[in-house]
Each structure stands twice: as structure tokens, then as C-alpha cells.
Chains A and B, each alone.
Chain A
């Protein structure tokens, strides 16, 4: 139970970091960290199929699509 609380706090910190970073690549990496911790939380709460979907979408698709979008626009937030 204490592990779930610690992971929830870590996910909150990673989400705040994704909000406050000026470098958008670092924000994308923070989003990947949020997805990873969410998947581990789903795993610990005994829902392995939801964790599998979260892993496939969050680790692979979301990061690649965000990086492609950043390549089209610009790296640093004004």
C-alpha cells in the first residue's frame, strides 16, 4: 500500500514537471514517465489488460506523435 502512495506522489511530480518545463522534449519525456508510472499503478491494482493498453499507447504512440509534432513546429516554448 505504501508503494502505491509513493508512486502516486511521483506521478503527480512528473505531471507538474511536464507542465512547467520550457524545453518541450523534456516535457515529452516527463509525459512518458507519467504513462510509465500509470501503467505500473494499473499493474499493482491488478488490472493487467488496462496496463497493457496503457503501455502500448503511452510508451510507443504518444511519444512518437509528440516528437513528430515538435519537429513540425519548434522546440522551445516562448
Chain B
């Protein structure tokens, strides 16, 4: 049973690692923003999965805050790049 949970967590962690690699190596600035945005979304899912793994409901509140507020930064950067340079 624990091996199955570790498989799920390892798949998600591999996704996070690939997104962070793209955010580190992207040629242009929107590539980096795409990488960080994908990292945020995968992290929300992994936080909910870890709250089920630790068996505590209070850990889901962090994922809720990220789901509500996580897109404001990306939206601000997108608005700047659309209007500015």
C-alpha cells in the first residue's frame, strides 16, 4: 500500500522537477513563467495528496490558499508584458 503512494508521489515529484528544469533553462521569459505556473499547479495536487498521506485535514488549507492566490502573480506578469515591451 505504501509503495503505491510512493509511486504516486514520485510521479508528481518528477513532474515538478521537469517543470523547474524548464523554468531554469527557458530561452525567453514566457518560458520561465510557463514553468513556474506548471510547478504551482502540480504542487497544489501534491499538497492535497500529501495531506491524505499524513492524514490531516488542516494541510489542505495551504492548497486552498495557493489555488485562490496562485494566479495573481502570473496575471500581473502577463499584463505587464502585454502592455509594455
Which residues of A line the B interface, CB within 8 A?
A: 3, 10, 13-14, 17, 23, 25-26, 28-30, 32-33, 36, 39-40, 43-44, 46, 48, 51-52, 55-56, 59-60, 62-64, 67-68, 70-71, 75
CA distance A29 to B69 in the complex (A): 15
Number of A-B residue pairs with CB-CB distance less than 8 Å in the complex they form: 83
Whether B66 pairs with A55 at a CB distance below 8 angstroms is yes
CA distance A28 to B50 in the complex (A): 28
Given contacts A39-B62, A48-B61, 4 further A-B contacts (CB under 8 A): A14-B24, A25-B81, A51-B62, A67-B80
Q: How many residues of B contact A (CB 8 A)?
A: 31
Interface of A, secondary structure class, is helix
Chain A residues, CB < 8 A from B84:
71, 75
